[in-house]
């Protein structure tokens, strides 16, 4: 089970008068996570398509062998 984690990154500012601030990039991390999930879905779809094509090729070969 995934825990709800907050992604934070430090932004260093120039000059000693400005302190180092921590920016909450939770939104950016959620966007990245969505993109990664979409990429995984696309990869799975490609793999399924390749499997279907291979199955079709095998069926065609079997039909040709039967005809001979």
Express each pLDDT in 25-43 by its tens digit.
566 777 788 889 999 999 9
pLDDT band of residue 66 (cuts 50, 70, 90) is confident
pLDDT in tens, 7-24: 555 555 555 555 555 555
Q: What is the dihedral angle through the alpha carbons of 51, 56, 62, 64, rounded to the nearest 10 degrees? A: -140
pLDDT at 5: 54
Angle at 60 between CA 55 and CA 62, to 5 degrees: 95
- Is the overall model pTM greater than 0.75, yes or no? no
The C-alpha atoms of residue 29 and residue 8 are separated, in whole angstroms, by: 9
């Amino acid at each position: 089970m995934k825990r709800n984690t907050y992604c934070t990154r430090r932004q260093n500012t120039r000059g000693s008068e400005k302190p180092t601030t921590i920016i909450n990039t939770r939104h950016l991390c959620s966007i990245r996570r969505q993109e990664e999930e979409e990429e995984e879905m696309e990869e799975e779809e490609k793999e399924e398509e390749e499997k279907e094509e291979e199955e079709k090729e095998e069926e065609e070969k079997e039909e040709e062998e039967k005809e001979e």
